[in-house]
Copies of this chain bind each other. A is one copy, B any other.
Amino acid sequence: MASETGAGPSTALLTDHYELTMLGSALADGTGDRRCVFEVFARRLPDGRRYGVVAGTARVLEAIADFRFAEAELAQLRSTAVVDDATLSWLADYTFSGDIEGYPEGELYFPGSPILTVRGTFAEAVILETLVLSILNHDSAIASAAARMSGAANGRPIIEMGGRRTHEYAAVAAARAAYLAGFATTSNLEAGRRYGISTRGTVAHAFMLLHDDEEQAFRAQIAKMGTDTTLLVDTYDISAGIDTAVRVAGTELGAIRIDSGDVGPLARRAREQLDRLGAKDTRIVVSGDLDEHAIAALRAEPVDAYGVGTSVVTGSGAPTAGMVYKLVDVEGRPVEKRSTHKESRGGHKSAFRRHRETGTAVEEVICPASRVPELGEHDRALQIPLVRGGQVTGELPTLEDSRRLLRRGLVSLPWEGLKLSHGEPAIPTVFASGEKA
C-alpha cells in the first residue's frame, strides 16, 4: 500500500498468531501464491435489529498502510518462534499489493452484504483478517447503535460523551462512528484532533463540589465561558439550582444540564421554571444513562439536546457487529465451509439494492461478481473501489459524505425498518440464485 499514508505506528502485530502460522505453511508449500478473494460480511444482524451501518472503512485502509514488519515486529516473532526465517524474510518485504472494494462508510448493510472484498494472494490477504475485522466490527457496531439514537432524537442534537466507558482508544473510534451516524458533537478531544469533529464540554459535578457553593461555581464558570454556557443544575436541588443559574447568568443563559433523575418530568418542570423566570431561550440538555429508547420516550418533552455515553460506546446491547472475513474464492474456484451450520456462500460476490419507483428500498441483491446484471433505473450498486494494486483509489468519502449517505439510506427504508422494537431486517437479502438469506 502507498507508504506515504503509512505514517502511524506499525499495526502488524494487531493480529492473531494463527494468521502467521498459516502464512508460514502456505509459503512453504507454495499455496501462499494462490489468488484469493476474502469477503467481509455479517451472517446476521444483532438480535432484533433492522439494519446495520458500515463504519470503519477509512480506518481499515489507514491500518493496512501501516501494516509493516519492521525490526521490532520481526524481533518479536523471531524470539517467540512464531514463524521461521523464510517467513520472516517475506514479512520484512510485506506490502499489500492487491485490490479492495467495499460498501462506503455510512451505507446500510444487511445479513450477507459483502461489506469489504479483499483480493490478492493468500499470503498477502490472509494476514489482514484480524485487523480488518477488529476495526469494522467495532466501528460498525457503534455506528449502528448511534443511527438508532439519532433517529430517535428526531433532529435534536446529541453529544457523544461515552469515552470513559470504553477502552481509551476505542473511545476515539467510537466518537468518529457516532458522528458518522448523525451525532452532532463529541466530548472526546482526540477525536477532535484526528477527525476534526467539533468537541463540547463545560463542567462536571466535581466543579460544583469544588466550590463553596453553587452560586460561586456558576459565577466562576460564567466568568470564564460567558453566559452562553451550560450550567449544571442538579448537584444540590434542581429548582434552587435553576433559580440561582438565572439570577447569576441572567435570562441570556445558554443552557442548563440535568444529568440525573427522571429527566422527562424534570425537563418539563425546568422549562416552566425557566419560562417563568424569563429565560425563554435557555436550552435544556439532558444526560445520564440515555439510550435510543429513553431518547424516544423524551420526544414530547421540552428537551433541546441529549448527552449520550455508555449506551453508544457499547453498541447499546450489541458491542460487536459479528462480521467475519471468509475465503470465498481460490484461483477462480468458489470455496466454502460445509460441515455443520455457519456455512458461508462461496464465490466472489457483488451487491446492489433494488428500490421502488418511490425510492423505497425493496431488497439487497447479492450476485456473483462475474455476473452482475444490468442495473435498472431504481437499482443502486453498493460497492465502490477502494484499493487497486495496493494503492488507495481516488478520494474516499469524507465523514460528511458518509453522514449524508446514511441519511439518504435511512429515508429509503420501508417505514417499519426504522422502528426501534425488535424485528426482522428492514429488507430481505436475496442471493443471485433467488434464495433468501
B residues in contact with A310, CB < 8 Å: 320, 322
Copies in the complex: 2
**B-contact bits for A333-355, CB 8 A (1 contact / 0 none):** 00111111110000000000000
Contacts of A188 in B (CB 8 A): 14-17
Please give, as numbers and ranges, the residues of chain B lying within 8 Å of A327 by CB-CB distance: 205-206, 209-210
Asked if residues B14 and A169 are in contact (CB atoms below 8 Å), the reply is yes
Q: Can you list 16 residue pairs at the A/B interface with Cβ under 8 Å?
A: A14-B168, A16-B163, A18-B187, A21-B225, A25-B203, A25-B225, A26-B210, A29-B223, A34-B210, A134-B164, A170-B170, A206-B326, A260-B340, A261-B339, A288-B342, A310-B320
Tell me if A330 counts as interface (CB < 8 A to partner B). yes
The docked-state distance in angstroms from the alpha carbon of A167 to that of B313 is 11
- Chain B's closest residue to A338 (CB) is B236
A167 partner residues in chain B, CB cutoff 8 A: 134-135, 138, 166-167, 169-170, 173
**Is A199 in contact with B17, judged by CB distance below 8 angstroms?**
yes
Among the listed B31, B211, B314, which residue makes an inter-chain contact with A220, where contact means beta carbons less than 8 Å apart?
Answer: B31
Task: Give the contact stretch, choosing among A96-104, A123-131, A383-391, A402-410.
Answer: A123-131
Please tell me if the beta carbons of A189 and B22 are within 8 angstroms of each other in the complex.
Answer: no
A117 at the interface (CB under 8 A from B): no
Asked if A204 CB lies within 8 Å of chain B CBs, one says: yes
Most buried by B among A206, A237, A337, A341: A206
Given A25-B207, A189-B82, decide whether A134 and B163 contact each other with a Cβ distance below 8 A. Answer: yes
Say which residue of B18, B131, B168, B221 sits within 8 Å of A11 (CB atoms): B168
Closest CB-CB distance, A139 to chain B, in whole Å? 8
Asked whether any CB of chain B lies closer than 8 Å to the CB of A112, the reply is: no
Let me know if A179 is at the binding interface, CB within 8 A: no
- Do B189 and A15 touch (CB < 8 A)? yes
**Which B residues are in CB contact (< 8 Å) with A365?**
none
A432 on the interface (CB 8 Å rule)? no
A378 within 8 A of B: no
Q: Are A189 and B134 in contact (CB under 8 A)?
A: no
CB distance from A214 to the nearest CB of B (A): 11
Report how far A260 CA is from B225 CA in the complex, Å. Answer: 58
List the B side residues contacting A220 at CB < 8 Å. 25-26, 28-29, 31
Contact between A189 and B236 (Cβ–Cβ < 8 Å)?
Answer: no
| Residues from chain B with Cβ under 8 Å of A173 in the complex | 167
A137 at the interface (CB under 8 A from B): yes
Asked if residues A22 and B207 are in contact (CB atoms below 8 Å), the reply is yes
- CB–CB B137/A338 < 8 A: no
Q: Does chain B have a CB within 8 A of A398? A: no
* Cβ of A48 to closest chain B Cβ, rounded Å: 15
Any B CB within 8 A of the CB of A161: yes
